Structure formats: C-alpha cells, structure tokens
Structure 1
C-alpha cells in the first residue's frame, strides 16, 4: 500500500466556483470526500491527491463540460497557485523558471511532477501524475493549460509552445484545445508535455523581478517545512477514513501505512492532538450519516448505515441514538427523497 500524497486544497477553489457559477451545489461533491468549503480557504490544508483528481472529474461531469479543467487552467493567475506561480516572474530566462518550477514542485511531494528534458530543438516539459486507477484527464489538461498561462505572464499573451502532446484520446474538440494552447495538439501520445523552442527558453524578459527570487524560494522552503510538520494530521486521517467509508472496514494499520508512519507513532501523534483513531472514525461515520439524512438522496436506513461503515441498520441506529438522543428515522435532519 502506497503512501497517500497530499495536495494543497485551495487549488480546488476554481472548480467549486465553476460549479456554483453554473447553478449547481458543490457541497455533495466535496462532502463525498470528507471535505467542506471552509477547507478550501485554509492556506496550509491539504487533501489526498486521489480525492483531488476525483473531485476535478466530478466537477466536469456535474457541469457537463469535459474541457472544464482545460478552461480553468487557461484562466488561472499566478497568485492562485501560490508561491510556485511567482517563480515564472522571478527567473532570468524561461529555462531557469521551468527548472525552478520543476524543483520546487517536486519538493512538495503532491503526486505530480514536471520534468524538464533537453532536446536538440529546445526542451520537452513533461507532466506526470503518480496515481493509478483514477481519471487524470482533467488534471493533466488543467496543469498544461495553467503552465501556458503562467509562461505568458513573462513571454506575452500571444506566446505558444511549439507543440502540445496529450496521452489521452482526442475528445473531438480539437479546436478548443488549439484555441487555448495556440499550437498544434496531438492526442494518444506516450507522455503529456509542452514542446518549447530554444529561442523562447533562452530569451531574457523585462517583465520579471530577479531580486524577488530568493524571497519566493524562502517562502517555498517554509511551506515545505510546514508540510513536513504535518500540522493537519488528524484532518488527514479523517480524509483517508472518508475515502474508505462504506467500501471496507478502516483499520488504523492501513491509515498508518498510507501516511508512511508506524502505528504507534500515529496513535501517539493523535493523542498529542487530544483525539484518537477511534474518535476520528466515529466522527466520520456521524458526518456521513448526517449528510446523507440531510440530503435525502438515500431514504433507506440500512443503506445509510452501510454507507457510514456499519454492518447493519440496527447497529447504526444504536450509535445514532448515542450521538443525538433520537432514532435516525425520527431525526429532524432527515429529508424525504
């Protein structure tokens, strides 16, 4: 079982805003992964990268736009991706900027990487996602479109890569892609990448502030250290528990392996935060059950019980009475489907 990679939650904000702008409620989409809107405005809060990918796809499905990630990436401003976005405007050449971006992006260990590969004509800037068994199309298109947008902040709005390669199949909307990238787009390729010419890579820009680079890198170093301190450990455990809720019994050993730490260390760290694995599981079960009752999409108490990780309705009903003092069938939260 692999360690769970965690990514900055605020990167989901544009997706939530896009969903709500089209008249949809983003709450069920987030709560399905143990999240709430307030989590997305916490600067140091992180969520499992796998959940991040799933929410990107859910947002695209909800609004009926398979190119949602592509469109959002093209509109993102540097400050919306944090200190990483500022690297583009603090490096002497585009080559330096891309190398800095690759280095600091990899140091965040979020589940993605951008690799700079020299070629005779310039460079391939390859985007890779380290997650299997989940759709990555939305994230890939978002990331490459976002990178083009960031590069244009220093190279000018008409800048374009030589080519764009995407590993997934052509979605029959080639004009949309070429309109955003301003370049030929090739599908069903071995890797996802931007092809960039050497003249562009070596061009010095008057739009940048070289003196700010040490400041930006110092801020990125602090962010990396904050990540290593794992200040949101209990919340991370909650999110991992939420990912397995209703599918299989969640064991502390499984969560410890995903977090890359011994069980005893995890237990001790949670105790230092005045909680325990048992408390977190109970809280997640209660949250899932109350959300399902309130949404009214499932009207069967047994189905709600199973979704909340209980073996049957009777065990769930006893637990629910302990939480609230009333039976789930009579709860004021309950709404008929």
Structure 2
C-alpha cells in the first residue's frame, strides 16, 4: 500500500487554537507547495498534501505537549469548511444535516485517502464512523477527535447548539486518550471500539441548516472527480483498502469484493496479475499487517482470537502464515513487542 495522504488544509485553524496554550516549540507541519499534476481533475484546484501519518502524529503531539485533549475537538468544531474548497461548498450549501453529512462522507476520499468513513441509519439512531485503514499509522487517537469535531459542527448547526442524546465511541482505550473525553464532549463515550463513531437521533438528519454564503456547489463535478480518482488508483491499492475495511467484520469473499470494485472476479484476477500480484497475495499481506496492529492495540486477545478476527478458521493456519511472512511465530512477535514497550 502506498503512503496515505491528507490535504494540508486539515491544518487550517490549529494555530489560533494553540496560541497561548503551550510554551514548547510545538510546530505545525510545513506545507508543501501545491501539486501541479496535470492529471488532477479540473474541479479540484491543485492542492498540497502531506503524509497522513504526519498529520496524525501532529495531533498526538499537540495533546501530549499541551496536556489538553480538547484541542483536536475544538479544531474540528471551529473548522472553516470553506477551506475544503468545492467539498466545503457542497457541505455548506446543503439544506439539511443529513445531506451535508452525506456529501462530506461521499467526497471525503478527495480530502484524505486510506480511510473508511460511513453515514448509517439503524432504527431511530444514525451514526457517522471514521477509521484510518492503514494499520501502520498508530497511535491515531486524537485525529479522530478532529474529524468527529467537524461532523459535530454540522450536527450542531442543525440543532442550533443543542447536544442531547449524542454518543461517542473510540478505537483507543480511555487511558490512551490523555484526558476526560466525556467531559470535553459532554456526551457518553465508549472505548476500545472497532471504529471511531458519533451516534445521534436519526431525526436530526432532517433538521434544516442555516444558509452559508459561498460558491455554488458542483455536485456533478465532485462525483466525476471521485470516479477519476478511483480509476487512477492501482487495483492492488483499492483491493487492499477494501480488505482492511472488512477484516474483523465480514468474510473476505473474492466475488463480492470484485463486484464492489466494479468488475468480475475473472477480470480482477487478470488486472491484479498485470500489476504483478494476486488476490491471495493482497489478502495475506493485509492479514499480516493487521495482525501486527492487533498485537499492538489488543493485548488482551489470545492468538486464537486474533486469528479468528482475521478470518482464519484454525489459528494454526494463521501461525504458519505469520511465520512465513515474518520469519518468527506470532507468540515470539508479541513477546518482542511487549519487551520493546517496557
């Protein structure tokens, strides 16, 4: 998987919030010059990007240095959506909360790749979940506060500031978040979840949003840009992101994934071969990298439980696969990881 990136516009507004909150030399990452790649779609002006891991590390450093867990949340809640260009215009021009959230989710891949973000509704509750799919980017606790802050901003616009019956869930454990998250969010929180999530009454989706002045939204252009981006992305990358998304939650079935990507399984196998790979190679690599992630983040789980989460019916099969990939057993890898941590 290639290096995940995020638009440097994600850094907008942090300097104002950080002002006066730290005496250390906490620096906001430098922004590269805008990309002048001629293959960029016309609707999205060339924009600079940075490694997603760098932005995540920055958000972690902010909380560690300031000892203020509220900062990423405040950066998201007060974020100027106009900084997102055409996507911000699409969100700001939405007439209802649900429409604004749907547009943010649908076009999020143009802002940050290698991320699973979803808007779902179940009975009388709705939710937006956010999760970075690259298992090598960890810890990734406080960037979630920032992203959920932007989502919370949209909901608050519709409720005119009311904040009732809102719930949060986070991938990280509570002690890893360096503060009283529930007090900051003024809402119940759970930890150790499979994804970062904000849940709210589904009726809020129908709340009207106040009008925000700005450029007209080009929904058709954004949709075309999403299609163009998918076409530019190598099939191995697209397949890996689907596998990382579905590990722990769905059976990894070649036919189903091929349909989702938009081709037959036969065509997918042929195109993967042209890229020098195969479905099984991608699946094995994703499983092994996810296994290391599970070792780091879920020390309470046994090797057998982790094998089951990765889709192995027998943990012995997982042990053999992991040994082929790493040269040592899962038990030895976990022991080495524990020694490093201490």
Deviation at 1:105, TM superposition (A): 0.7
Deviation at 1:14, TM superposition (A): 3.4
Q: How does 1:206-221 map to 2 (within 5 A)?
A: 207-208=210-211, 214-215=217-218, 218=221
Deviation at 1:172, TM superposition (A): 9.3
Show the counterpart of 1:110.
Answer: 113
Q: Which of the residues 30, 39, 59 maps onto 1:56? A: 59
**Do 1:166 and 1:187's aligned partners in 2 also have CA atoms closer than 8 Å?**
yes
Deviation at 1:123, TM superposition (A): 1.9
Inter-partner Cα distance in structure 2 for 1:171 and 1:49: 24
Q: Which has the higher helix share?
A: 1
Q: Which of the residues 91, 94, 98 maps onto 1:95? A: 98
Q: Deviations over 1:60-95 (max 9, x none)?
A: 223333443223223323224444344343223322
Distance 1:140 1:211, change over 3 A: closer
**Do 1:19 and 1:62's aligned partners in 2 also have CA atoms closer than 8 Å?**
no
Q: Which of the residues 108, 119, 124 maps onto 1:121? A: 124
Show the counterpart of 2:201.
Answer: 197
Inter-partner Cα distance in structure 2 for 1:149 and 1:173: 21
Inter-partner Cα distance in structure 2 for 1:19 and 1:221: 37
Inter-partner Cα distance in structure 1 for 2:222 and 2:119: 23
Show the counterpart of 1:183.
Answer: 187
Distance 1:92 1:212, change over 3 A: farther
Deviation at 1:39, TM superposition (A): 5.1
Paired residues, number: 224
SS of 2:192's partner is: coil
Inter-partner Cα distance in structure 2 for 1:20 and 1:5: 29
**Do 1:166 and 1:192's aligned partners in 2 also have CA atoms closer than 8 Å?**
yes
**Do 2:169 and 2:196's aligned partners in 1 also have CA atoms closer than 8 Å?**
yes
Distance 1:50 1:151, change over 3 A: same
Moved more, 165-174 or 89-98: 165-174
Inter-partner Cα distance in structure 1 for 2:91 and 2:170: 23
Inter-partner Cα distance in structure 2 for 1:74 and 1:202: 20
Distance 1:48 1:196, change over 3 A: same
Show the counterpart of 2:151.
Answer: 147
Show the counterpart of 1:76.
Answer: 79
Show the counterpart of 1:8.
Answer: 7
Unaligned 5+ segments in structure 2 are: 35-44, 234-274, 276-342
- From the CA coordinates, give the structure whose radius of gyration is larger: 1
Deviation at 1:155, TM superposition (A): 3.1
**Do 2:69 and 2:177's aligned partners in 1 also have CA atoms closer than 8 Å?**
no
Show the counterpart of 1:46.
Answer: 49
Deviation at 1:199, TM superposition (A): 1.4
Distance 1:60 1:218, change over 3 A: same
Inter-partner Cα distance in structure 2 for 1:171 and 1:105: 29
Distance 1:48 1:71, change over 3 A: same
SS of 2:145's partner is: helix
Q: Deviations over 1:305-333 (max 9, x none)?
A: xxxxxxxxxxxxxxxxxxxxxxxxxxxxx
TM-score, with structure 1 as normaliser: 0.54
Q: Deviations over 1:110-168 (max 9, x none)?
A: 23232122211232211111222321101111111221013223331224553111121
Inter-partner Cα distance in structure 1 for 2:146 and 2:226: 23
Inter-partner Cα distance in structure 1 for 2:214 and 2:10: 27
Q: Deviations over 1:282-327 (max 9, x none)?
A: xxxxxxxxxxxxxxxxxxxxxxxxxxxxxxxxxxxxxxxxxxxxxx
Unaligned 5+ segments in structure 1 are: 31-35, 231-261, 263-337
Q: Alignment RMSD, CA only?
A: 4.0
Deviation at 1:8, TM superposition (A): 0.6
